[in-house]
Structure 1
Amino acid sequence: MSATFSNPGKMVIKPVHLAHVVLKTQVEQFQPMVEFYKTFLNATVTYQNHVVSFLTYDEEHHRIAIGRFPHVTPRVPTASGLVHIAFNFASLHDLALAYLQRKAHGIEPFWCVNHGLTTSMYYRDPDGNEIETQVENFESPEEATSFTMSEKFAENPIGTDFVPEDLIRRIEAGEEDKEIKKRVETGKRMAPLPIF
């Protein structure tokens, strides 16, 4: 039986996609945050006034919005809240090339890790918000879920760190993406995460 307004049921309709993320910042950090995301995502400002900026890198009218708030205090890394925003890339080549392009702007990751599910690089914006750039390591969601149900993932749900230049070297040497994406198993790793 289909849900109706008079009998909606309890199963909530799923959204079609995640549309955007809004970040609040201090007055003096507003323009540095806008400039950072313009560079980091190769984004375009679709609207901006003295209190808000909308940025996009694709067909959505805005993927990131940055709001300027007069009474916002600096971010406290130990406070509860959002840990990071993640952006997917089409290939290891694109992930690595974007790394070099960001590095040319002085933007470098603080952590590079093969989680098993993804090959990921983590960055911080000027306010200290964390951003993950990643490539999916499996061909399908079913394969990824199977990996998360494995003993290897139970032993190490964090992943294995890597050096970006090693990744680039392997890509340039012509090694297949499938091989590069295989996580090097290093044994038990539960914590700490280098994300604070």
Structure 2
Amino acid sequence: MKEQTQSAPPATHDLQSPRLSEIVLKTSRFEVVRDWYQVVLSSTPSFEYERPLNSEDGGSSRVENFRRLCFLRVFAEFPYTQVLAIFDVPNLIGTAGNTGLHHMQFRERSLESLVIRYERLLQLGVAPYQSFNHGPSTSFYYEDPDGNLVELSGPNYETEEEYLNFFKTPAFQKNPSGIEIDVADFVRRYRAKERLQTLIRLPD
């Protein structure tokens, strides 16, 4: 990351801060951890998914290294949500260094806000580690100086109805991870004003 002078304001000082949207935990004791948080947070899963055992897609990166997942939604006010997600990651050793935080998600109010922040950060030499079109949203994943995974996300839809309807589609039920995208190409197409429906469309 490029250094800034002490007196100069941060390059992103005029941007509205994104809101904390997800805390994602990784565990090898999926049922135990899921059930504990259901009781503690008075919340039932809004979505659960298990990757098929013979699945060859995903699972090889830090973003997609889960076997099962569960979303516990604790608050929603579109375009923002607050979710505790639990990822079942096999063969973790039950120590603080291996279980615990998987990643954090911060939600921007729009794709435009997400793209602007990406462009500002890129000027400072801060580039995403990996990027995804998840379907309901687009996310750019960064690694902080300690290697923690930080997800910056923007909604792919302008209304809450459109956003929530996507969660009910067979495409999302089959593949909640979505597809990995080339962030530079995505931003180029976005800035070229490509139709949003085309830009965010997932393959059948």
TM-score normalised to the size of structure 1? 0.51
CA distance in 1, matches of 2:116, 2:141: 15
CA distance in 2, matches of 1:145, 1:77: 35
1:87 to 97, 106, 114: 106
> Larger relative contact order (C-alpha < 8 A, sep ≥ 6)?
2
Runs of 4+ with deviation above 4 angstroms: none
1:100 to 104, 111, 119: 119
Deviation at 1:122, TM superposition (A): 0.5
* Structure 2 spans left out of the alignment, 5+ residues: 1-5, 21-94
Q: Residue in 2 aligned with 1:185?
A: 203
Instruction: Indicate how the Cα distance of structure 1 residues 173 and 130 shifts in structure 2: closer, same or farther if over 3 A, else same.
Output: same
1:165-186: CA deviations, max 9, x gaps?
A: 211221232223343233x226
Q: Residue in 2 aligned with 1:171?
A: 190
Q: Answer yes or no: is the 8 Å Cα contact 1:96–1:164 preserved in 2.
A: no
Instruction: Indicate how the Cα distance of structure 1 residues 81 and 141 shifts in structure 2: closer, same or farther if over 3 A, else same.
Output: farther
Q: Report the secondary structure of 1:122's partner residue.
A: strand
Q: Residue in 2 aligned with 1:146?
A: 165
Alignment of 1:1-196 (within 5 A): 42=12, 79-182=98-201, 184-185=202-203
CA distance in 2, matches of 1:82, 1:145: 26
CA distance in 2, matches of 1:173, 1:90: 21
Q: Report the secondary structure of 1:83's partner residue.
A: strand
Deviation at 1:140, TM superposition (A): 3.4
Instruction: Indicate how the Cα distance of structure 1 residues 161 and 78 shifts in structure 2: closer, same or farther if over 3 A, else same.
Output: farther
Q: Answer yes or no: is the 8 Å Cα contact 1:96–1:167 preserved in 2.
A: no
1:35-67: CA deviations, max 9, x gaps?
A: 9xx969x369xxxxxxxxxxxx65x9xx8xxxx
CA distance in 2, matches of 1:78, 1:165: 33
Range 87-96 or range 150-159, more displaced: 87-96
Aligned-CA RMSD value: 3.5
Q: Answer yes or no: is the 8 Å Cα contact 2:111–2:155 preserved in 1.
A: no
CA distance in 2, matches of 1:149, 1:79: 33
Q: Report percent identity of matched pairs.
A: 31
CA distance in 2, matches of 1:160, 1:119: 10
CA distance in 2, matches of 1:98, 1:163: 16
More strand per residue: 2
TM-score normalised to the size of structure 2? 0.49
Instruction: Indicate how the Cα distance of structure 1 residues 148 and 87 shifts in structure 2: closer, same or farther if over 3 A, else same.
Output: same
CA distance in 1, matches of 2:127, 2:185: 15
* Structure 1 spans left out of the alignment, 5+ residues: 1-34, 45-56, 64-75, 187-196
Amino acid at match of 2:163: A
